[in-house]
Amino acid sequence: MESRDGDAVPASVRVAAAWSWRLLLIAAAVAGLVWLLAQLKTIAVPVAVALLVTILLRPMRRMLENVGVPRGAATALSILSFIAFVVGLVVLAGSQIVTGFQDLWDQATQGFQEFLDWLSTGPLGIDSQQLSDYTNQVQDLFASQSSNLISGALGAASTVGHVLVGFIIAIFCTIFFLQDGRSIWAWIVNLLPLPARENVHQAGRRGLVTLSSYVRTQILVALVDGIGIGIGAAFFVPSLALPIGTLVFVGSFIPILGAIVTGAIATAVVLVAQGWVAALIMLGIVLLVQQLESHILLPLLMGHAVSLHPVAVIIVVASGTLVAGLIGALFAVPLAAVLNTVVQYLHGHDKFPELGTEDHVPLLRREALAELPGTLLWSNRGNRDTSEGRDDAGPGPGAAGP
């Protein structure tokens, strides 16, 4: 009896082939999504920023509502307070940089001249004429690159325009995310096939808890890093302590790599201003603050909510940096944490069973679906009750979810 063609192929090879084409399709879909986001980064990045800012400002908006402020006014006050805080911090740090940068520049110039003198009179014995020739070559190199600097300035002007557009989009989205986030989420979920809506809704609620935990923890960690390293810098460069602390605070939002880079910058500034001994002491302060962050704050605060191993964090940050540069490094970890929570829930592992499943997404279509378990029919009353009584009630048991 003649055997079938499939019998000649081992089962392991058939399974590997089945997995291979599926993995290739998944990789192609992911690559297509990344490409699309890269093309729409002027829109995608502000929307992502708006989501993070919304999570940050939502407790403030609820607090204002609890004392009797209408929702619209509470939303406006929350956003204006956030903008005022950011602008005030930038202005204060900028003024400190203006007042302290000239002294730092003079010290750096003096240190560089002392270094040149050491090269000519020290053990290397480099001729002063050779040093002068090298200096002139460097100056000629900068002069020859003037056209590139001009084109870079024009590119920067274009970037400023994109930043302004992104800022407007972020503010616009933040307003509506704070004001009507529940209805927006319900509309998104109702775009999916009916059998998938409830699972996606419950997974989204848990993803929101993870994202909220990440945002709050990362702000606290960045604040500790900024204050600790800023206080250390105040002993050596008091005029630049605030800018250094602000830089460390902002950089710490990129996990691991941001703290390393900004700590190195702080050490380099002290090296230029005060010399090797002070720089070594500053390096010790930076390492002490970062060890406090890595071994006490992150495990204690992140814990179960985010639950990404440090190796996974490094790989995710590096991958995000390679794919999308600084923006990828900034958003890689929260995206990976949310995906981790959502995928685990869809595969049967609920990281937050205390949330329950009593909160349901309403259906936008009125059909014969009343008997469908785990859903509610959309109605004017139901929509009103949802938006007024349960909208973004915050993470925790009985939370409304996204």
Bridge partners (DSSP) of residue 363 are 377
Reply yes or no on whether the pLDDT at 303 is more than 60.
no
Would you state the pLDDT for residue 322? 82
- Which residue in 340, 339, 380, 378 sits closest to 361, CA to CA? 378
Q: Quote the pTM value.
A: 0.70
Contact present, 86 and 57 (Cβ < 8 Å): no
In this structure, of 58-72, 136-150, 210-224, the range with the lowest mean pLDDT score is: 136-150
Average confidence (pLDDT) over 237-255? 82
| 45-49, 107-111, 294-298, range with greatest mean pLDDT | 45-49
Give 81's pLDDT tier (boundaries 50, 70, 90).
Answer: very high
Would you state the pLDDT for residue 382? 42
Contact present, 53 and 85 (Cβ < 8 Å): no
pLDDT: which is higher, 367 or 270: 270
Q: What is d(CA 244, CA 267) in angstroms, rounded to the nearest whole number?
A: 10
pLDDT: which is higher, 326 or 305: 326
Q: Output the six-digit token pair for 188.
A: 């998104």
pLDDT in tens, 49-75: 999 999 989 999 999 999 988 988 999
In sequence order, the 6+-apart residues with CB closer than 8 A to the CB of 274 are: 236, 237
Average confidence (pLDDT) over 272-298? 82
What mean pLDDT value characterizes the chain?
76
In this structure, of 125-134, 228-237, 257-266, 382-391, the range with the lowest mean pLDDT score is: 382-391
E strand or H helix at 100: helix 71-121
Would you state the pLDDT for residue 67? 92
Dihedral over Cα of 378, 398, 60, 332: its sign? negative
Dihedral over Cα of 137, 141, 142, 146: its sign? positive
Reply yes or no on whether the pLDDT at 392 is more than 50.
no
Q: Output the six-digit token pair for 110.
A: 């003096």
Spans of all domains in the chain: 42-390
Backbone φ and ψ of 377, nearest 5° = -80, 140
Contact present, 65 and 185 (Cβ < 8 Å): no
Share of the chain above pLDDT 70, in %: 70
In sequence order, the 6+-apart residues with CB closer than 8 A to the CB of 220 are: 297, 301
Dihedral over Cα of 364, 369, 370, 375: its sign? negative
Q: What is d(CA 31, CA 28) in angstroms, rounded to the nearest whole number?
A: 5
Reply yes or no on whether the pLDDT at 26 is more than 80.
yes
Share of the chain above pLDDT 90, in %: 13
3-class DSSP state of 135: helix
User: Which residue's structure tokens are 């209805």?
Assistant: 183
User: Which residue's structure tokens are 């690159």?
Assistant: 145
| 9-23, 105-119, 140-154, range with greatest mean pLDDT | 9-23
Q: What is d(CA 256, CA 313) in angstroms, rounded to the nearest whole number?
A: 8
Would you state the pLDDT for residue 399? 45
| 7-16, 63-72, 285-294, 356-365, range with greatest mean pLDDT | 63-72
Average confidence (pLDDT) over 331-343? 88
pLDDT: which is higher, 219 or 312: 219
In this structure, of 98-112, 250-264, 280-294, 313-327, the range with the lowest mean pLDDT score is: 98-112
pLDDT in tens, 171-214: 999 999 998 888 899 889 988 888 888 899 999 999 998 898 88
Would you state the pLDDT for residue 143? 55
